[in-house]
Chains A and B, each alone.
Chain A
């Protein structure tokens, strides 16, 4: 009887310890990554509190990406690019990268054409958002969902 109780206690205690260790490990290995809320916060920090309308912007990204370390990205905005009506800035944000803020381009009427392109890193299959700021202060956006087979940030360090 004495032996039975101690065995039960031991198992309970051991189980509790194992669960504790397991939970701790889950928290410890959770990678640093932005959540949709963090992305929203980052967007608001950059563009302010004005309403973001869908449209006018076209975000070009390949739908399936083999290597997340170098992803071609282009943003085109439907704008005449005149002194009175031009694109002031284009911002790009991601949902699941460690940092949601990717890049900002500042243009003006001297750009002639509202198209910019670069290459970005994507840490995961996720959605990418491009927001453009027009000279009249309005904000327009477009988003694209991408599937990444080999994520950035996973390659071995030095």
Chain B
């Protein structure tokens, strides 16, 4: 199973811009490589990433084979209220991982 690393500050001031870093383990097989006997290795990538903040979408990304293995994404959001950030990755072969992080806004 894929494991994800998420870096979200645990506390933030209201209105502060916080930086979020996410990393998920995934081979991101491009579909352009071949085995030593010449057979094409089928594509297996993460295609989508969504971040929701208390149910509201704040960031979304569409990934393609040119994203390096173990996709690393950095983005930011405004700390509006205490709550949960939910991260969701989807991809080929039914890949689907959801992680969440709590944030306290003062």
- Contact residues of A with B, CB < 8 Å? 32, 69-71, 74, 94, 97-99, 101-108, 110-113, 115-122, 153, 155-158
Given contacts A98-B30, A107-B75, A111-B77, contact A157 B68 (CB under 8 A): no
Return the CB mask of B74-94 against A: 1 if under 8 Å, else 0.
111110100000000000000
> Is B17 a contact partner of A157 (Cβ separation < 8 A)?
no
Residues of A within 8 A of B76 (CB): 111-113, 115
> Is B62 a contact partner of A103 (Cβ separation < 8 A)?
yes
Contact of B61 among A94, A101, A103 (CB under 8 A): A103
> Is A102 a contact partner of B30 (Cβ separation < 8 A)?
no
- Contact residues of B with A, CB < 8 Å? 17-18, 30, 32-36, 41, 53, 56-69, 71-78, 80
Residues of B within 8 A of A69 (CB): 68-69
Contact of B58 among A74, A94, A110, A113 (CB under 8 A): A110
Residues of A within 8 A of B36 (CB): 156-158
> Is B32 a contact partner of A103 (Cβ separation < 8 A)?
no
> Is A121 a contact partner of B66 (Cβ separation < 8 A)?
yes
User: How far apart are the CA atoms of A112 and B18 in the complex, in Å?
Assistant: 8
Given contacts A112-B78, A157-B33, contact A99 B58 (CB under 8 A): no
Residues of A within 8 A of B63 (CB): 103
Residues of B within 8 A of A98 (CB): 30, 32, 65
Residues of B within 8 A of A156 (CB): 36
Residues of A within 8 A of B33 (CB): 153, 155, 157
Nearest-neighbour CB distance to chain A for B100, whole angstroms, equals: 17
